[in-house]
Amino acid sequence: MPAEFYYGVEVFLNGLMAGVMYSLVALGFVLIFKASGIFNYAQGVMALFAAMTLVGFQNGQIPFAHLINAALGTEVHHFGWTLPAFVAIIMTLGVMLIFAFLVEKFVLKHLVNQEPIILFMATIGLAYFMEGFGDLMWNSDVKRLDVGIPKGGNIWVEESTAFLGGEDFYGFYLDSLDISAALIAAVLVGALVAFSQYTKTGRALRAVADDHQAALSVGISLRTIWVIVWAIAGFVALIAGIMWGSKSGVQFSLSLIALKALPVLILGGFTSIPGAIIGGFIIGVGEKMFEFLIGVPFLGGATENWFAYVLAMVFLVFRPQGLFGEKIIERV
C-alpha cells in the first residue's frame, strides 16, 4: 500500500474526530429545537459562558470584579483559592440551571406561540446579552482551561500503526483530546437517550416534542419542560465549552463554534440526536477529505469554511428535511 493511501486514511480518521467536536455543539441545538421549536442561536455563547464560569470558579475569580472596582474604587480580583475541577463543574451546572430558569421566566414565557423567526431573533438578542454579561462577569481576557483531559498526539496509536506505511510513515496521528471527546460524546448521547426513553421526565419531553398542545392537555407543564431542556442544553454547552476550551483557551472565539455546528445541524436534521452525530461525521470527514484531495492541490486551500455549507446545501436539495429530520408534509 502506498503512503498516500494511509495519509488518506489518517485524514479520514481525523475528519471523524473533528466531526465529533462539531456534533457536541450541534447536540445542544437539537435538544432545544425538538422540545420547543426554537432555533437557539445562543448555543455557542452558552458554551463560552459555561466555560468562562467554570474557569472563573476554578481560579477563584471574583465575578464582576472590574465593575466593582470601577464603581467602588476597590482593587479586588481573586478570592485567592482554586477549586478542584469537579467542584467547579458542579457549580457551573448550578449556574446553567439558574440561567435556564431565568431564560424561561424572562424570555420564553412571553414569546409563546410566536413565529419561529421571532423566537430565533430573540435567541440572538439573548446571545448579545450573554456576550456582554459574560465579559462583564469574568472579563474578556483569554483563560486557560484545564480539567485534566489528556491532550497531544496519541503516541500509542502512532507507534502501533507505524509499521503500515513504510519508512516515511510515522503512524496514524490522533489527538488524545479528540479521542476523549469521542468517548464523552458517546456517553452523553447514551445518557440522553436513556433519559428520554426510561424516565418520566424524558417521556414528558418526548410528548412535548411530538405535540405541544396534546402534551399540555394531558397535564404536562410546558414551562417546567422548557426549564429542563434549557438546563440540559446548558450542560451540553458546558461539555462543548470544555472540549473546545481545552484546545485553544477560553476566549470570545469559542462562541463562534456555533457556525461550525450549523451545517451539521441541517445535514442531520434539526430534530434528530443521531442526526447530529452522523451529520458531524459527514461534515468532518467531508471537509477534511475535500481539503486533502481537492482544496490544497487545486484551490490553494482554506476551503473548510464554505465547503461544509456547500455540502449541506447540495445534500438538502435532494433531501430538504436533512438526513434524519421529520418528513415535511405540506397541506393546503
Partner 1 sequence: MKFKSIAIALALTVSTPAIADLTFPNLTYRTGAFAVSGIPYADGFADYMTLLNERDGGIGGEKVNYIECETQYKVEKGVECYENTKGEGSLVYQPMSTGITYALIPKATSDGIPILSMGYGRTSAANGKVFSHIFNYPANYWVGASVVVKHMLDENGGNIKGKKLALVHLDAAYGREPIPTLEALAKKHGFELTTIPVAYGAEQKSQWLQIRREKHDYVTMWGWGVMNPSAIQEAANIRFPMDKFIGIWWSGSEGDVLPAGDAANGYKSLALHNTGNDFPIYADLKKHVYDKGLASGAGDQSGTVLYNRGIYSAMLVTEAARQAQKKTGKSKISPADMRDAMEAFSIDEARMTALGLPNFAPSFSVSCENHGGNGIAAIQQWDATAKTWKMVTDFIEADMDVISPLIAADSAAYAAENKIKERCG
Partner 2 sequence: MLYREVGEFKTSYQSDQQTFPITSDRLVVLSLIFIAFFVIPFFITEYMASAIVLPFLIFGIAALGLNILTGYCGQVSLGSGGFMAVGAYSCYKIMTSFPDLNIFFCVILSGLVTGVVGLAFGLPSLRIKGFYLAVSTLAAQFFLVWAFTKFPWFFNFSASGQITANERLMFDIPVSGANVAAPVAYLICLIFFVSLAFIARNLTRGSLGRKWMAIRDMDIAAEIIGVNPLTAKLSAFCISSIYIGISGALLFCLYFGAVEAGDAFGIDKSFLILFMIIIGGLGSIFGSIAGAAFLVAMPVILKNIMVDFLAWPVDLASHFEFLIIGALIVFILIVEPHGFAMLWRIIKEKLRLWPFPH
CB closer to partner 1, 70 vs 186: 70
Binding to partner 2, residues 39-78 (CB under 8 A): 39, 66-67, 70
* Least distance CB 127 / partner 2 (angstroms): 7
Q: Give the span between the Cα atoms of 138 and 254, in whole angstroms.
A: 15
Helices assigned H by DSSP within the chain: 3-36, 43-59, 65-72, 85-106, 116-138, 155-161, 176-198, 200-210, 212-217, 222-248, 257-268, 273-290, 304-318
Q: Is 219 left (phi over 0), alpha (psi -120 to 50) or beta?
A: left
Does 116 sit near partner 2 (CB under 8 A)? yes
Does 124 sit near partner 2 (CB under 8 A)? yes
* Least distance CB 153 / partner 1 (angstroms): 5
List the single partner that 206 binds among partner 2, partner 1, none, CB under 5 to 8 Å by kind: none
Helix 222-248 with 200-210: angle, nearest 10 deg: 100
Q: Give the span between the Cα atoms of 237 and 88, in whole angstroms.
A: 15
Does 328 sit near partner 2 (CB under 8 A)? yes
Sign (positive or negative) of CA dihedral 104, 106, 107, 108: positive
Residue 88 near residue 59 (C-beta atoms within 8 A): no
Binding to partner 1, residues 122-181 (CB under 8 A): 135, 139-142, 144-146, 151-153, 170, 173, 175
CB closer to partner 2, 72 vs 117: 117
Could you say which of 197, 221, 224, 305 contacts partner 1 (CB under 8 A)? 305
Q: Give the span between the Cα atoms of 289 and 274, in whole angstroms.
A: 22
- Residue 217 corresponds to which cell in the numbers above? 392537555
Does 176 sit near partner 2 (CB under 8 A)? no
Burial 203-242 (b: 16+ CB within 10 A, else e): ebbebbbeebeebeeeebebeebbbbbbbbbbbbbbbbbb
Q: Which residues in this chain contact partner 1 in the complex, by CB under 8 A?
A: 7, 10-11, 14-15, 17-18, 21, 65-66, 69, 73, 75, 77, 135, 139-142, 144-146, 151-153, 170, 173, 175, 244, 247-249, 251-254, 256-257, 260, 287-288, 291-292, 295-296, 300-305
Q: Which residues in this chain contact partner 2 in the complex, by CB under 8 A?
A: 39, 66-67, 70, 106-107, 110-111, 114-118, 120-122, 124-133, 135-136, 140, 259, 262-263, 265-266, 270, 299-300, 302-303, 305-306, 309-310, 312-313, 316-317, 320-322, 328, 330-332
